Amino acid sequence: MKDRKLNQWLWKWHFIAGLISLPFVLVLSVTGAMYLFNPQVEDDYKSSMTKVINNKASKLSYQEQWLIAKKNMKKPLNSMIVSNDNQLATEFIAGRFSHKKSVFVDPNTGEVTGKFSPKDTWMYTIRKLHGELLGGSFGTKIIELIACWMIVLIITGLYVWWPFKRGVRGVFLPRLNEGKRTFFRDLHAVLGFWFSGLLLLTLAGGLPWTDVFGGEFKWIQKVTNTGYPKTWSGRGLTSEIEGEALTLDKMIEIAKGQNLKGELYVGLPKSEKSTFSVFNKTFDLDAQRMLHFDQYDGSLIKKHTWSDVGVLMRSRMWVMAFHQGQFGGWNFWIMFGVALMLTIMSIAAIASYILRKQKGTWGVPKVPKTFSVSSSIIIIIGILCVLLPLFGLSVLLIYVTTLFQRKAAQ
């Protein structure tokens, strides 16, 4: 049996945290569902740049295309995508993440068919709204704080949902014939129960992008040496300068010979001493490879497989890919379903609150004055405060504010 007084105390804080978080949760769920379609939006935007007419018997060499791309980009080129489709322009890439920019070269004519950056589409605004409320670093911290409290909302919600007396209706299925307030309350609680595990996994996939938790996680990776190997990106690896460097065409021939799964990339050397890199992007993570070749004789200098990556980085990359629905159709529809259910849960909570609330009050649940927080609950809160620093800061502020209010009331 549950502790009724503890149930009332958790219900009170679930109610307050939910009331404050709901507008932000709605923004996160709606923009998250929209951003799942980002690859399709970007592909549609780039289609006029990428599609070319293959009407020539001979093409420009990759080396020639590389020179053309370099002349048309201010930033140094990092890599290129190797494609076997004769109807596609060759894509050369500069920069990383949101600063990434691509230039497309028609291999038939040498014409630059266009340039693309993720910032060019309206999805970039959706991403910024989802990740930082269009508020930069401050907005990112607000999103992180809401994500932390969402974890607390799930934990407290599960305790409050757990029935004093077990039964099916109102616990595992919403009650449909007992009034609007009961229906919306059950819809919120029952969906919360069924989707709680997926919601926690989704939040775990979003937290690595945050400033405070994400920064703390990266620090732990560095200290424990559980991130990428130092040579994964080619750092510290050099080519022996001897004779002429390999042409890009020869390097692509070597890259294709590796028979890597997914989209094939060739990393371009940054200097005379650096290496060519060959890597693939596939969300069969175990199939990912990173190979570094001497740019003069084409010999393999370093080979990395996914097993070389530290356990924390592997876990992080998996939950982040899951968060973005990148493991295929099943993952996409699960994440879309999570976003949809979170939106419905939020609307149901608002409806339930409006129907419950009495005029002139906030409707905050009352807690018996005789209730005192047990040591076990304090330990659980302490653990959450350590794991989620912004949650810990908010708890400290709540505690200090409560002390001042008590002193003022005396």
Give the separation between CA 5 and CA 210, rounded to whole angstroms.
Answer: 35
With bands split at pLDDT 50, 70 and 90, how would you rate the model's confidence at 362?
confident
Single out the residue of 108, 95, 309 nearest to residue 221, CA to CA.
309
pLDDT of residue 376: 94
At 284, phi and psi to the nearest 5?
Answer: -90, 85
With bands split at pLDDT 50, 70 and 90, how would you rate the model's confidence at 405?
confident
Dump pLDDT digits (tens) for 221-278.
999 999 999 999 999 999 999 999 999 999 999 999 999 999 999 999 999 999 999 9
pLDDT of residue 1: 66
- Cα distances from 169 to residues 166, 177, 186, in angstroms, run 9, 11, 9
Number of helices followed by number of strands (H, E) in the chain = 12, 8
Single out the residue of 249, 259, 254 nearest to residue 289, CA to CA.
259
Supply the mean pLDDT for the chain: 93
Average pLDDT over residues 183-200: 94
pLDDT of residue 97: 79
With bands split at pLDDT 50, 70 and 90, how would you rate the model's confidence at 291?
very high
pLDDT above 80 for 87? yes
pLDDT above 70 for 408? yes
Dump pLDDT digits (tens) for 162-184.
887 656 666 888 888 889 999 99
Give the separation between CA 379 and CA 2, rounded to whole angstroms.
Answer: 19
- Considering only residues 317 and 168, tell me which one the structure prediction assigns the higher pLDDT: 317
Dump pLDDT digits (tens) for 10-55.
999 999 999 999 999 999 999 999 999 999 999 999 999 999 987 7
What is the amino acid identity at position 23? P
Average pLDDT over residues 326-333: 95
Domain limits of the chain? 4-36+133-217+329-372, 379-410
DSSP character at residue 295: T
pLDDT of residue 173: 87
pLDDT of residue 53: 86
Strands 112-116 and 276-281, how do they pair?
A: unpaired
